[in-house]
Amino acid sequence: MIVTALGCLAAAARHAPAQAPVRAPNENGRIPILEYHLVGERESRWSRSRENFRRDMELLYQRGYRPITVAQLVDGDIDVPAGLSPVVFTFDDAPPSQFRYVEHNGRLEVDSTSAVGIWLAFNRLHPDWKNRATFCLLSGAADGHAFFGEKGIEGQKSAWRFPKLRFLVDQGFELCGHTLWHANLSRYDARMVQEQIARGVLAIDSAVSGYRVRTFALPLGLWPRDRSLAARGSWKDPRTGMEVKYSFDAVLEVAGPPVPSPASAAFNPFALSRIQVTGGEPGKTLDQLDRRNDRFVSRGPGRIIRTGTATKQHGGTSTNRP
Ligand SMILES: [Zn+2]
């Protein structure tokens, strides 16, 4: 059985949601997509400290942001309450520091010091901060970057890899492709590009049977020479003769500004830029959005439909859980 370590503690500390300032709706505003790699002891180019990661969520929460997945973004399924704004969290490379298990008396618990543990504790404190984030996975890279750890690296057993993916899906998180071992797709021919992407998708399907991978993150933000192969392609497994096809609804780049609203004609789901969270981010980006009055503010849950530059909204509940 899988339980989270901080359950009791967090339940005791639960309180009413903080009062975010009420803002006028602006469904033509921009939406920040944040990008994390390692979450660990200290801060570096590719690592966010645990404390700063928790503070990032606190900052966003207090400033009226609530998380959605990439799949929700491209569907225009922005289910945040009126007056609040969506933010997208993406986690790249599947290192153990994002999601570790610890074994206690034969039971697996989410390590409260891993990013998923910190996230779940925050969700318990603030139930309106839902479990919505997108994990862009490597299935076979070095140093434990293989579905969050293997072979004893950081205490992680290989047998825990598939259960971790199933746990994420059960919680409402999205799984995203990021190739087999982080290949620089600009350097390889079309066959190798498709093999790298398809094998990553195939590995996710092995863990969560029938899961439709809708989002792909370009390793290093680098495109293959034939850009269309980042979104669509196929590869024939020589061992089984089976053809593995992939067709994504979203492609993530690396560095850039917050993305336009899905209502805007400028919204391109196949080239979504992200903000790497280091140093003064995401605070700098949030300040800039407020200064320019260019922040997406919801008028209430419901689907946003692209209609040129204006927005139209359908009522009803959202159906596109990741
Ligand atoms: Zn990466």
How far, in Å, is the centroid of ligand 1 from the Cα of 194? Answer: 17
How far, in Å, is the centroid of ligand 1 from the Cα of 179? Answer: 9
How far, in Å, is the centroid of ligand 1 from the Cα of 89? Answer: 14
How far, in Å, is the centroid of ligand 1 from the Cα of 276? Answer: 11
How far, in Å, is the centroid of ligand 1 from the Cα of 181? Answer: 9
How far, in Å, is the centroid of ligand 1 from the Cα of 220? Answer: 6
Structural domain boundaries in the chain: 2-16+25-314
How far, in Å, is the centroid of ligand 1 from the Cα of 225? Answer: 18
Question: Confidence class of residue 225 from pLDDT cuts 50, 70 and 90?
Answer: very high
How far, in Å, is the centroid of ligand 1 from the Cα of 236? Answer: 24
How far, in Å, is the centroid of ligand 1 from the Cα of 218? Answer: 7
How far, in Å, is the centroid of ligand 1 from the Cα of 184? Answer: 10
How far, in Å, is the centroid of ligand 1 from the Cα of 229? Answer: 18
pLDDT at 19: 55
Indicate if the pLDDT at residue 163 is higher than 90: yes
How far, in Å, is the centroid of ligand 1 from the Cα of 81? Answer: 32
pTM comes to 0.88
How far, in Å, is the centroid of ligand 1 from the Cα of 273? Answer: 14
Q: What is the pLDDT of residues 287-312, one digit of tens each?
A: 999 999 999 999 988 888 765 444 44
Question: Confidence class of residue 13 from pLDDT cuts 50, 70 and 90?
Answer: very low
Indicate if the pLDDT at residue 318 is higher than 80: no
pLDDT at 141: 83
Lowest mean pLDDT among 12-21, 62-71, 213-222: 12-21
How far, in Å, is the centroid of ligand 1 from the Cα of 175? Answer: 14
Three-class SS of the chain:
CEEECCHHHHHHHCCCCCCCCCCCCECCCEECEEEECEEECCCECCEEEHHHHHHHHHHHHHCCEEEECHHHHHHCECCCCCCCEEEEEEEECCCHHHCCEEEECCEEEECCCCHHHHHHHHHHHCCCCCCCCEEEECCCCCCCCCCCCCCCHHHCCHHHHHHHHHHHHHHCCEEEECCCCCCCHHHCCHHHHHHHHHHHHHHHHHHCCCCCCCEEECHHHCCCCCHHHHCEEEEECCCCCCEEEEECCEEEEEECCCECCCCCCCCCCCCEEEEECCCCCCHHHHHHHHHCCCECECCCCCEEEEECCEEEEECCCCCCCC
Decide if domain 2-16+25-314 falls under CATH 3.20.20.370.
yes
Q: What is the pLDDT of residues 130-157, one digit of tens each?
A: 999 999 999 988 888 889 988 888 888 9
